[in-house]
Amino acid sequence: MDRAVRAHAGGDRRRCGDPDAGALSSSGGALLIAGTTSDAGKSMVVAGLCRLLARRGVKVAPFKAQNMSNNSAVTVDGGEIGRAQAMQARAAGLAPHTRFNPVLLKPGSDRQSQLVVRGRVTGTVRAGDYIAHRDALSSVVAEELRSLRDEFDAVICEGAGSPAEINLRATDLANMGLARAHHLPVVIVGDIDRGGLLAHLFGTVAILEPKDQALIAGFLVNKFRGDPRLLAPGLDRLAELTGRPSYGVLPFHDGLWMDTEDSVSVLAGHVVGIPTAPRGDQWLRVGAIRLPRISNSTDIEALAAEPGVAVRWVDDPAGLAGLDLVVIPGSKASVADLDWLRARGLAAAVAEHASGGGAVLGICGGFQMLCRGIDDPVESGRGAVPGLGLLDADIVFAVDKTLALHTGAAATGGLSGYEIHHGLLARSAAADWAGIGLRDGAIHGTHWHGLLDNDDFRRDFLTAVAASTGRTGFVVADDVDVPARRDAQLDLMADLLAAHADVEALLALLRDGPPTRPTVVAGRIR
């Protein structure tokens, strides 16, 4: 490893034989990447920095103190974390572990979330009483971050939402609360593609109290289209107003679409990914239902990576017209989302699609909805409710959550994936589907997330869908490698940072901590 790089990353140079070791702490450096909004690009910037540092030989780990997301993944220690942190761990060359995301909130409604601490469900919290949990959760966060800093040369932390949410400052564990507790330098990322970014960046700093402002090191512009020279005067003025630099302008790149963290980016009518021309003379048309409490929406990305497969999010019956395959994805509130399907007319539309020979795939909560009945005393407390009845099976919810990580062993037929669910199969008269679910003709259901990332399995499934729906001109590609595609995206993000950001300045923040507080130059900014 290059000593200069490791020193920049905050490693103890005494371990490298550097005689000038007294200037650095024996703990690894840490940096917080915050954002002006949700979906500003924090997750991908953290992943890109992890991959960039790992490629330089730096021992780096990701960290998100508290995440609120229904996109989650199972870890090697048998818990669950936000899927973005699993992706960031992959970028760093690490297996996903609960320490990378010690607190996870999984919303089941607008005011209530399942609380997952160190990978395990500890209860349910309401928005109004979350402050009662803050001290205990803060201790968990502090312990895990200290542990990571002791073990790794660098820890790249991701904020949650925006640090400007001052109404939540008293319970904040992931933004300025984390930065203040651990004296972390903060870089604010903003999505310029949405417009109004300069005001967002200025306002994010201006609304903070002075001690929080002092930790804001500077800014990173994300998703810029056009000539950066046109933006330069605005960034220069921003620096004058705030006393803080911009560390780079990252260009918009349409290759960065996999592993989305927020359901904010999962919008009805939107095409998933970038459809590419079919290998044969026909397309396969897929509609994924955008449930209100959708979970693990990333499951469908593998389908969108296939040539000739056009995947679109839908939320009304008209969106199902002309589709070959309808996907009902996972849900954090299966019974409530089943009610929504019926209220929107989608339940009847799915049944009509299936009766006409169309293929249907239900994943996790979507699988449960396809069954004849669901007995749920756990999530909804509703007890027995009728399902869609497309699979002759019944589901019963258990108090304890099933968490399983399948790693391609012989016991799972060589398939990889993971399970996160309360619902259990109580009865089935449907046919087995490859040992991972049930099927009835073109109707398929599984509790496995990540199943479609298995390339051969996905090709066989798409071939079967095309045959059952009469798409004889669709030819499945034999060279799409979805896991490699995910790695290529991480490399792409690292390359964009290397080419368009002042990486050495970011590494200096890891080494030196927050810069000296700027002088008062405008308004309330200090």
Q: Write out pLDDT tens, residues 200-251.
A: 999 999 999 999 999 999 999 999 998 989 999 999 999 999 999 999 999 9
Q: Which residues, other chains included, contact 409 with Cβ-Cβ below 8 Å and sequence gap of 6+?
A: none
Statement: residue 525 has pLDDT above 70: no
DSSP string, 308-354: TEEEEEE-SGGGGTT-SEEEE-EESSHHHHHHHHHHTTHHHHHHHHH
pLDDT of 7: 38
Q: How far is CA 400 from CA 73, 120, 137, 367, in A?
A: 17, 10, 22, 19
Residue 259 backbone dihedrals phi, psi, to 5 degrees: 60, 45
With cut-offs at 50, 70 and 90, classify the pLDDT of residue 27.
low
In this prediction, residues 178-185 reach a mean pLDDT of 96
Counted residue by residue, the chain has a size of 526
pLDDT of 23: 29
Kind and range of the H or E run holding 504: helix 503-512
Statement: residue 16 has pLDDT above 60: no
Q: How far is CA 479 from CA 49, 393, 430, in A?
A: 29, 36, 33
**Of 9-13, 32-36, 42-46, 115-119, the least confident:** 9-13
CA–CA gap between residue 116 and residue 104 (Å, rounded): 5
The 3-class secondary structure across 281-320, one letter per residue, is CCCEEEEEECCCCEECHHHHHHHHCCCCEEEEEECCHHHH
Q: Select which of 182, 200, 422, 449 is catalytic.
A: 449
Kindly state the tokens that stand for 310: 């056009």
- Domains for the chain: give ranges and CATH numbers: 3-257+487-512 (3.40.50.300), 280-476 (3.40.50.880)
CA–CA gap between residue 487 and residue 424 (Å, rounded): 33
Active site residue 421: no
Q: Alpha-carbon torsion 497, 502, 503, 508, what sign?
A: negative
Query: Average pLDDT over the chain, rounded to whole?
Result: 90
Task: Pick 19 or 113 by higher pLDDT.
Answer: 113
Contact 19, 171 (CB under 8 A): no
Share of the chain above pLDDT 70, in %: 92
With cut-offs at 50, 70 and 90, classify the pLDDT of residue 518.
low
**Of 3-7, 57-61, 421-425, the least confident:** 3-7
CA–CA gap between residue 277 and residue 411 (Å, rounded): 37
With cut-offs at 50, 70 and 90, classify the pLDDT of residue 521.
very low
Work out the burial of residue 356: count CB atoms within 10 Å of its CB; fewer than 13 is exposed, 13-18 middle, 19 or more buried. Answer: exposed
Contact 480, 241 (CB under 8 A): no
Contact 413, 422 (CB under 8 A): no
Q: Select which of 353, 364, 421, 447 is catalytic.
A: 364
Q: Where are the beta strands (DSSP E) in 50-119?
A: 60-63, 66-68, 72-74, 80-82, 103-107, 112-117
CA–CA gap between residue 307 and residue 199 (Å, rounded): 40
Contact 102, 140 (CB under 8 A): yes
In this prediction, residues 42-69 reach a mean pLDDT of 97
Active site residue 449: yes
Task: Pick 19 or 9 by higher pLDDT.
Answer: 9
pLDDT of 262: 62
Give ∠ CA 419-425-428 in degrees, rounded to 5: 135
In this prediction, residues 350-373 reach a mean pLDDT of 97
What is the spatial order of strands in the sheet that 66-68 belongs to?
Answer: 66-68, 103-107, 112-117, 120-126
pLDDT of 412: 78
pLDDT of 26: 43
Question: Can you give the C-alpha Rg of the chain in angstroms?
Answer: 24
Kindly state the tokens that stand for 37: 């909004």
CA–CA gap between residue 117 and residue 55 (Å, rounded): 31
What is the spatial order of strands in the sheet that 29-35 belongs to?
Answer: 60-63, 154-158, 29-35, 186-191, 216-224, 246-251
pLDDT of 452: 97
Picking from 481, 380, 369, 392, the residue whose alpha carbon sits closest to that of residue 439 is 392
pLDDT of 152: 97
Q: Name the region of 509 (left: φ>0; alpha: ψ -120 to 50; beta: rest).
A: alpha
With cut-offs at 50, 70 and 90, classify the pLDDT of residue 409.
confident
pLDDT of 261: 67
Kind and range of the H or E run holding 426: strand 416-428
pLDDT of 209: 94
Q: 334-343 and 346-355 helices cross at what angle (nearest 10)?
A: 80
In this prediction, residues 253-276 reach a mean pLDDT of 82
Statement: residue 526 has pLDDT above 90: no
Picking from 182, 252, 76, the residue whose alpha carbon sits closest to that of residue 510 is 182
